[in-house]
A and B are shown apart, each in its own frame.
Chain A
Amino acid sequence: MLKPLLDFEKPIAELDTLIEELKRSAANDERRKAAEHDNVDIESEISRVEERRDKVMREVFANLTPWNRVQMARHPMRPYTLDYINAICTNFVELHGDRIGADDPAIVGGFCQLNGQTIMAIGHQKGRDLKERQHRNFGSARPSGFRKALRLMQLAARFRKPIVTFIDTPAAEANLMAEEEGISRAIAYNIQQMFHLEVPIVVAVIGEGGSGGALGIAVGDRVIMMEHSIYSVIPPESCAAILSEFGRDRGRASDAAAALKLTAQHALQFHIADSIVSEPLGGAHRDPIAAARVLGNAIAAELKELASVPTPVLLDARYKRYRSIGSWEEIEREALIVPVPADHVEGPMP
C-alpha cells in the first residue's frame, strides 16, 4: 500500500525506502555475498542511513510551522481513538446508541480496563479508508453522537467509573439534519452536564480538537494533548476565508493557523492543557504502539492522582478550572478616558 505523505515527510520517506532496500539485501544471501565481495558491510550501512534519517527527522520536526502541526494532527496515518483504546485498554465492550433514535459512528464509547481498572472510554472516530471515512462522517459527530456520549458518561458516573475521552474531530456536523436534531443544544447540554459528573474525567486530545465538536466531550479534570495535536476555535481555512487580514483566502490557512495559536504547546501555555505527551520522533503514526504506551501511561498517572480526590473537591476544582479560563483586564472607570491597561489577568488566577 502506498502510504500518504506530507511534503515535509518526503525526504524522510526516501531514506526509509533506502533502509528497507538495504534490509532486504541483508536478508538475501546472494545480495549479501555480492556486498561482501565489494567490501560493503550492509549492517553498518543500514545504521549509517538510519542515523542520517533520524538526523533529518530531528531537523524537520524541530522546525514545524503551526500549519505543519495542523497537517500532522490531520495526518491520514495517525492513530485514531479505537487504535488507542485497543492498544491501551483490555476488554473493551463498545456500547452503541443514544436511546432516542440513532447511533452515530462518529463517536465511539464503551467500558474497558486500563491497568486492570474499569473506565469508560469515549472518543471521536475517524475512518481509515474512503468507505470507513464516510461511515464515520470524517469524525464529525451528529447530535445523536453527543447524546450517546452523554448517556455513556452518566452511566459511568452512576457506577463510579472514571471517564477518559479521546478528542479527534474537525468539527461537529453542521448540515440540515444536524440542525433539525439540535446540534447546538446537544453540544451545549453535554458541556453543562459534564460539570455534574461525579467521577474523574481525563481528556486526551489525540489529533484535531475542532471547536464545539471537540468541546462537547472535552470538559475534564485533566486535559492532555499529544505533541502534534491541535485545539482550535475555528478551522484555519475558515478563519482565513472570513478575515480580510488573510485576504478572505482559504489558501492562506497557514497564516491563520499561526495567528490562531492552536498548537498543543500554545494550549499548555494558556493553561488550557495540563500536559503534553511526547510522540515518537516523526509523529505517532511512525510508531503507534510506542505512542499508545506513552499516552496510556500519562492517562493512568492522571487517573491515579484524581482517584484520591474527594468528589466535592473534584467538582469544585473542575468548576474553578473552567471558570478561570480567559484573558481580560479590569479597568477603573477613570482609566476608560485615558486607556492605560491595569490588572491584566491571564490564565487561571492564583
Chain B
Amino acid sequence: MRAKSRWFTKPSGRNGSAVTNMPEGLWVKCPRCAEIHFAKDIERNLRICTKCDYHYRLHAYERIDLTVDEGSFVKINDDVMSVDPLGFPGYPEKLARAISSTGLTDAVVCGEALIDGRRCVISAADFDFLGGSMGSAVGERLVRAMELSVELRIPFVLFTANGGGARMFEGLYSLMQMAKTSAGLAKMERAAVPYIVVLTDPTMAGVYASYASLGDIILAEPGALIGFAGRRVGNQDMGMKLPDDFQSSEFQFRCGMVDQIVHRRELRSTLATLLMLLAEEGSDVKTSA
C-alpha cells in the first residue's frame, strides 16, 4: 500500500541540528571550527562548512532533496507509525514531541525516486527524530522498502543517521528490528538486487550492527561518527587509549568497513555511477524525470 504524496516542501522553522544559541536561523556556528557563518552560505554549500569542510547533519528530506532528481520522489510507508508497546515511561511524550518538532512521522523517510534518471528505492534517516533510533515502525518501513526493491528489481539506496541505534523504549521489539531488517536484506541478497548504504553522522549501535553494515556497497560521508558502542559504554573498562579518529568514517575506512569516503559534493554523482554500473543487462534505461 502506497500513500502517494506531493513532492516535499520543507516545513518552516526547521533549522539545522547544529545550530546552537544563534538567533533563529540567520547565523550558524560550525561545531568543528567554531566559525560563525551566514546560514544562507552554508545552505548554498550543501550544508558544508566553507572553512573546515565539516558536513552538517541533514534532515531526511534535505538528504533526499540533494540526492534525487527534482520532482521524482514518491513517498511510501509514511503512515506506519510507532506505538508504545511496553508502556515505557515518557515514550509517548517523546514521540509526540519528535513528530511535532520534525514534521516527520518517524525516524526514516522512504520512497521511490530517480537518481540521474535511474529508478531506485531510497530511504533517509533523520537524527532529530529520537536520535534516528530504530523502533518497530522504522523496521517495518525499511523492510517494506526492501521488499519493494525486490519486487521492482531496482536498487535500494539508504542513508543512515541513526545515532540512537535500536530504540530502547520499545525494548525487545526494537532489538528484533535488527533481525527483521537483516531478514529483508537476506531476501535482497538472494534476489541479487543491489543495496547501497551511505553512512552519515551519526550511525551507531543496533543500526550499525544490522542493516547499516550490510550494504553491498558501503559509502560514508567524511567525519561522521560511526561505531558500535559509545566511547563511555565501550571503553571504560581498560582505560585503553583511543585513537583521535576513533569511530569516525576515516577510522572505519582504515579498518576495512567502508568502500569509499565520499564528499557530499560528489555523493550524487558517485551514486549515479554505481547505479549505472550495477544496472541489470537490458534494463539500463534512463527515465527522464
Contact = CB atoms under 8 A, between A and B. Distances in A.
Chain A bound to chain B: yes
23 contacts: A175-B238, A178-B234, A179-B228, A179-B251, A182-B256, A184-B257, A188-B178, A192-B214, A196-B190, A211-B175, A212-B206, A215-B175, A233-B175, A239-B168, A245-B90, A260-B88, A319-B187, A328-B82, A328-B83, A328-B135, A328-B137, A336-B79, A336-B105
A270 B179 contact: no
* Nearest 4 Cβ contacts at the A-B interface: A174-B234, A326-B136, A174-B229, A327-B85
Contacts of A234: 166, 168
Q: Give the most central of A319, A328, A330: most B CB within 10 Å.
A: A328
A7 to B, nearest CB: 25
Nearest to B227: A179
B140 A328 contact: yes
Given A318-B183, A325-B139, A325-B180, 8 more contacts: A175-B237, A175-B238, A179-B247, A184-B212, A184-B257, A187-B209, A242-B168, A325-B177
Interface of A: 171-172, 174-176, 178-185, 187-189, 191-193, 195-196, 211-212, 215, 219, 231-234, 238-239, 242-245, 259-262, 266-267, 270, 272, 318-319, 322-323, 325-333, 336, 341, 344, 346
Contact of A325 (B90, B173, B208): B173
A344 B227 CA distance: 34
Q: Give the most central of A176, A231, A270: most B CB within 10 Å.
A: A176
A191 B209 CA distance: 9
B139 A326 contact: yes
B81 to A, nearest CB: 5
Contacts, number: 195
Given A328-B80, A328-B140, A185 B257 contact: yes
A332 B140 CA distance: 16
B233 A195 contact: no
A245 B83 CA distance: 19
B85 A346 contact: yes
A100 B79 CA distance: 45
Contact of A245 (B89, B177, B186): B89
A116 B246 CA distance: 49
A176 B176 contact: no
Nearest to B179: A322
B277 interface: no
B255 A330 contact: no
Contact of B179 (A181, A219, A267, A333): A219
A267 B172 contact: yes
Given A259-B86, A327-B85, A270 B168 contact: no
B102 interface: no
Contacts of A232: 171-172, 175
Interface in B169-195: 170-180, 182-187, 189-190
Given A178-B228, A272-B172, A333-B3, A328 B247 contact: no
Q: Give the most central of A175, A219, A319: most B CB within 10 Å.
A: A175
A191 B172 contact: no
A331 B79 contact: yes
Nearest to A210: B175
Contacts of B171: 232-233, 260-262, 266
Given A174-B234, A238-B233, A259-B88, A195 B182 contact: yes
